[in-house]
Structure 1
Amino acid sequence: MQSMFDTVLVANRGEIAVRVIRTLREMGVRSVAVYSDADADARHVREADTAVRIGPPPAAESYLSVPALLDAAARTGAQAVHPGYGFLAENAGFAQACADAGLVFIGPTAAAISLMGDKIRAKETVKAAGVPVVPGAADPDLEAAARELGAPVLLKPSAGGGGKGMRLVRDLSTLTDEIAAARREARSSFGDDTLLVERWIDRPRHIEIQVLADTHGNVVHLGERECSLQRRHQKIIEEAPSVLLTPEIRASMGAAAVEAARSCGYVGAGTVEFIVPGGDPASYYFMEMNTRLQVEHPVTELITGVDLVEWQLRVAAGEPLPFAQDDIRLDGWAIEARICAEDPSRGFLPSGGTVLSLHEPQGDGVRTDSGLSEGTEVSSLYDPMLSKVIVHAPTREAALRKLRAALADTVTLGVPTNAGFLRRLLAHPDVVAGRLDTGLVERDADGLVPSGVPDEVYAAAAAVRGAELAPEPREGWTDPFSVPNGFRLGGTPKPLAFPFRVAGLEPVTVDAPAGARVTDTAVTVTVDGITHRFRRAGSWLGRDGDSWHVLDHDPVEAALSGARHGGADTLAAPMPGTVTVVKVAVGDEVEAGQSLLVVEAMKMEHVISAPHAGTVTELDVTPGTTVAMDQILAVVAPRETAEEDA
């Protein structure tokens, strides 16, 4: 057994890097952060003991550059590398490169990563160990196997997880297009477009088991996590334990997870994921093994009292686990919510911007793991997850209540997030009752997103504008003619009115409310006898996890802009990102709904389709073009207009 490391390089960014650095500091281990040019002033860089620049903003030239990471480790004297999750965390080549360079990779061996990272081989391996698996097949017989299984089927990348490249196909007439899209996403996310297809289990629950294994042959599980609340196959709420499992089923699944870990010679912290029919939880199936720390690991830490990052380090240093399976106890309930840079009001499209005002709850059973600070620039270059709010309480009911309150207290002005949506989701009757499945969010998402902007938000914005117009008193005296009070000769003062716009909605004109209180960071207004309090930062307002960017509306500029861009004929970028596919050229005839372009942001593809049949009269982008939100991409003139012009 070697001694504990003196210096560990954290080969990641954002909230996971900050979280790993925290444990390193507590253990007295020197931390090394790495950063791209886009992250030069990031929180993980400032919190580490030292930091090394590894390249330009694109991940392929920085966080995914094995030579740059190994060079950073050598230059700083690191003895070990913690990969976090995402990027190279499950890359067998990186793990082997670390070993070849004399570095300890804080995770499983390259062989175990390779085996479990290949979902096809992983299924065969655990099946041989007696673990039940979902029926399916893989390339090269993918399309034929999918048709034989029958709809619905699930397409999955063989080389990675996290929902990237996954496609649920209910109509086999779209199978060919769905396979092509899944391959593009898989290639972009993992560098490998190999796919497998599995039978889809309707209304399934996603339950995973945390395992921990040392180099002395000891393997234990630390209970389960319920991860059924997902959107686009991405987990958004996780909890531990699960209301679905009895002690007997928990023991059975835990034993299966331990066998899966043993089957590949696993070492370190890992997660075995199962798909479980909600009506028959005893009939569970192995889906995959994540050979790394999971995003949702804090809920396990809070109910077991085990710091998983600490034990990743101790196991990597050769220490044996000091506890056996019978020593593991589950205490209370923990629930986590993932705060992502996305705008629920615009179909959950990725968002971006500068964090202007930030408040993240901590203490009294509340923990926030975050990579944010005020001034952080959130771009489309990396994953949209910004932070996680986690709570711990004696019961599930108390934990739900505490997390809703913590989300209401979460402020990230300047970047639209899903915090308010998650708070409403946690109050959904089925969520409160524990009636969960992986399709619940998609079915009910529309009812959890407000259809417009509340009146009090516009009132607060009007109060802010009125306050900005108020003159500063000079020597205790204010010129009455400079006060914007709507004074009229011989008449009742007319309230000040302000025109506003919020993206995606029609502009409105609002009177400034009387009696409002405005400071640099807050606004209080009373509307219809109810007092409302908002946090503010410039033209941003926030309350209960929701935020609104309320801008001044100029009717003349709006009319000119509409005339220039042809209104409904114009196709604009729905999110900041990169154009990856252009399928048309100027002059092409297109049909309504035809796919014209693909924009990728934060590892998500968005297809831009023709709004109507017509002719492409303008095309302002090519593959590789970086675009801002609402930037004009193309113009499609309606067919009847084109015919009239001819």
Structure 2
Amino acid sequence: MRNEMTTMFDTVLVANRGEIAVRVIRTLRELGVRSVAVFSDADADARHVHEADTAVRIGPPPAAESYLNVPALLEAARRTGAQAVHPGYGFLAENAEFARACTDAGLVFIGPPAAAISLMGDKIRAKETVAAYGVPVVPGSSGSGLTDAQLEEAAREIGTPVLLKPSAGGGGKGMRLVRDAAVLGEEIAAARREARASFGDDTLLVERWIDRPRHIEIQVLADTHGNVIHLGERECSLQRRHQKIIEEAPSVLLDAKTRAAMGEAAVQAARSCGYVGAGTVEFIVPGNDPASYYFMEMNTRLQVEHPVTELITGLDLVEWQLRVASGERLPYAQQDVTLTGWAIEARVCAEDPSRGFLPSGGTVLALREPQGGGVRTDSGLSEGVPVGSLYDPMLSKVIAYGPDRATAIRRLRAALADTVILGVPTNTGFLRRLLAHPDVVSGDLDTGLVEREAAGLVPDGVPDEVYAAAAAVRRDALAPRPDANGWTDPFSVPNGWRTGGAPAPLRFPLRVAGTDPVTYGAPDSAAVTADRVTVELDGAVGHFHRSGDWLGRDGDTWHVQDHDPVEASLSGAGRSGADTLAAPMPGTVTVVKVAVGDEVAAGQSLLVVEAMKMEHVISAPHAGTVTELDVTAGATVAMDQILAVVVPLEDS
């Protein structure tokens, strides 16, 4: 059932980038609506730029000067004749001032009213507002602007463990779990510092901590005529650093009665703030008592994980965002919403599990993303495009659908194995192994599961067959090619032949970053083509995708480089040991706190490197003197680039 559209937009500007911009543009194309992409100089050749009907440059690479530049976005809309702006998620999607600026400029903001964004963006006001509508909330402090002493008093009344949370932000920044009441004072001070640095606002609230909680959210949809429905739940308990990495719909935890009750609570939360459009109400749920659910917050935008809801409901949420924003009435009552089958999504990010999931980067050298057969990939990637450190690390989402949960998980694991991204380290292989974990398979989830099990899901070292494949590629590169008559000079064949003895094995010195160099030979049975390598080692056959020095298999990738110890020593790459501090990830040096000649204490903060919304503090490995400092604030650094050298005091 669907109303006929009377006034759909002709042109919509998508105020975002990457996979969400591509995703929104796809629905605009299907509806016959002209799309306008925006881009920074860093994204001039990005996929969303090529897929839009037109694209407008909005500034230099830093987000503050481009994707967060409200005047530039409004000017792009004016120049292209856009009637509406879709904010995607991230950047300005939940910025009330941006929504208000769009409205003031005569544009339709495809999202809720600015007042709703502002209300739900303040966690303290949001809790008070939804509670007045009968929505259960986590026991905690009440009132805004509490002093440190008042927060301590509230925490002691609730009883530890408690969670300190910034009122103004999300994503886990500034959150502190406190189990010992004796350290409340210092933890409150630390949480305020982090909140002030992240959001410019150090207002805190304190909530009861629920051990082994599950994170379940309800998708709501509301029109401008007062109709509000929910589209079921999503299980989002598989998280790392408070960031979701795998989501599914529905949840194995909820029965029909609990689903209906939580859905109604979400509807009331949406009504409490006058919500319009697609939004998500997030609940924290004790795993051993799903009927005791508590409101956490409302995300006043489209969620990253919206595809799993689309697959089990058959609805295009972006389409309904557009229809609602154009004034269309929802043609569905709650009883018309049905959930069919199961869907599960994995977020593919530019991060290196072998390096503690630090952000990564590089240029996409080879790309293969599965589609069809119950699998969908939403992606912003294309071959030849660099992945830098300026923006969010999420590159794509792989989503699988099936008639039941087991089928959906099986299809997603197969799709991740078929995903090829060479040139940029990703978490694809880690996600595939996580989906095979017994607790994930059984549905026994909680928000701490990934952190507890992560170490066992990261391979220990580089498999021998990877080095064998890399050696085969190098041997193949040395092999002469037949001339026009098909003749090959036998003396130029790299087979290790020598006079007076058996052929010498042809071996290559190789190295994967973060590991010791090895010398390896190629198996005689190895087969190499332009984009594949097959090797047999100890009776097992391994098939790899390849591009340049990169190899990939089942979602895992390795950058296997030639190792020249002399060159490494001269370039500085060979320097190692406790004295040398190298960049753990590609990024930008934001803070330099020392100078050459300074004496520093063990553990003292020396520099800060930032990449993809993550800061990494570089600390002194021991007390000593800074003898080298190779970077300045604002400098861009590569992974493993030498930053500083600290020589112990007795040696300096």
Partner Cα distance (2:493, 2:315) in 1: 61
Q: Is the partner of 2:395 in helix, strand or coil? A: strand
TM-superposed CA distance for 1:515, in Å, is: 1.7
TM-superposed CA distance for 1:608, in Å, is: 1.5
Partner Cα distance (1:186, 1:359) in 2: 40
Task: State the partner residue of 1:43.
Answer: 47
**In 1, are the aligned partners of 2:568 and 2:574 still within 8 Å (CA)?**
no
Task: State the partner residue of 2:556.
Answer: 546
Return the letter of the residue paired with 1:473.
Answer: P
The superposition leaves residues 58-114 of structure 1 with CA deviations (integer Å, 9 ceiling, x where unpaired) of 000000011000000000000000000000000000000000011000000000000
Q: Is the partner of 1:607 in helix, strand or coil? A: strand
The correspondence for 1:283, drawn from 292, 298, 305, is: 292
TM-superposed CA distance for 1:197, in Å, is: 3.3
Task: State the partner residue of 2:103.
Answer: 99
Task: State the partner residue of 1:134.
Answer: 138
Q: Is the partner of 1:31 in helix, strand or coil? A: strand
Distance 1:290 1:495, change over 3 A: same
**In 2, are the aligned partners of 1:408 and 1:544 still within 8 Å (CA)?**
yes
Return the letter of the residue paired with 1:456.
Answer: E
Distance 1:462 1:183, change over 3 A: farther
**In 1, are the aligned partners of 2:148 and 2:185 still within 8 Å (CA)?**
no
The superposition leaves residues 120-152 of structure 1 with CA deviations (integer Å, 9 ceiling, x where unpaired) of 111111111111112334644257525635654
The correspondence for 2:566, drawn from 547, 556, 569, is: 556
The 5 Å alignment of 1:150-229 reads 151-170=160-179, 186=195, 190-229=199-238
Partner Cα distance (1:485, 1:102) in 2: 73
Partner Cα distance (2:318, 2:205) in 1: 32
TM-superposed CA distance for 1:173, in Å, is: 7.3
Q: Is the partner of 1:75 in helix, strand or coil? A: helix
The 5 Å alignment of 1:205-604 reads 205-474=214-483, 475-560=485-570, 565=575, 567-604=577-614
**In 2, are the aligned partners of 1:209 and 1:272 still within 8 Å (CA)?**
yes
Mean Cα deviation higher: 280-289 or 633-642: 633-642
The correspondence for 1:145, drawn from 129, 148, 151, is: 151
Partner Cα distance (2:178, 2:645) in 1: 31
**In 1, are the aligned partners of 2:238 and 2:450 still within 8 Å (CA)?**
yes
Partner Cα distance (2:575, 2:429) in 1: 33
The superposition leaves residues 165-188 of structure 1 with CA deviations (integer Å, 9 ceiling, x where unpaired) of 444445677767766765566556
Q: Taking structure 1 as the reference length, what is the TM-score of the superposition? A: 0.96
Partner Cα distance (1:562, 1:162) in 2: 37
Mean Cα deviation higher: 570-579 or 5-14: 570-579
Partner Cα distance (2:410, 2:543) in 1: 21
**In 2, are the aligned partners of 1:131 and 1:256 still within 8 Å (CA)?**
yes
Q: Taking structure 2 as the reference length, what is the TM-score of the superposition? A: 0.95
**In 1, are the aligned partners of 2:569 and 2:575 still within 8 Å (CA)?**
no
Unpaired stretches in structure 1, ≥5 consecutive residues: none
Moved >4 Å (runs of 4+): 169-193, 560-566
Return the letter of the residue paired with 2:98.
Answer: F
The correspondence for 2:22, drawn from 18, 39, 43, is: 18
Q: Is the partner of 1:567 in helix, strand or coil? A: coil
Mean Cα deviation higher: 423-432 or 472-481: 472-481
State the number of aligned residues.
642
Q: Is the partner of 1:509 in helix, strand or coil? A: strand
Identity percentage over the alignment? Answer: 82
Q: Is the partner of 2:27 in helix, strand or coil? A: helix
Q: Is the partner of 1:383 in helix, strand or coil? A: coil
Partner Cα distance (1:181, 1:472) in 2: 65
Distance 1:532 1:246, change over 3 A: same
Partner Cα distance (2:130, 2:85) in 1: 28
Distance 1:19 1:499, change over 3 A: same
**In 2, are the aligned partners of 1:237 and 1:335 still within 8 Å (CA)?**
yes
**In 1, are the aligned partners of 2:68 and 2:91 still within 8 Å (CA)?**
yes
Partner Cα distance (1:229, 1:566) in 2: 36
Partner Cα distance (2:125, 2:573) in 1: 58
The superposition leaves residues 299-357 of structure 1 with CA deviations (integer Å, 9 ceiling, x where unpaired) of 00000011100000000011110000011100010000000000000000000000000
Return the letter of the residue paired with 1:62.
Answer: S
**In 2, are the aligned partners of 1:154 and 1:198 still within 8 Å (CA)?**
yes
**In 2, are the aligned partners of 1:460 and 1:523 still within 8 Å (CA)?**
yes
What CA RMSD, in Å, does the superposition of the two structures yield over aligned residues? 2.0
The correspondence for 2:67, drawn from 63, 70, 75, is: 63
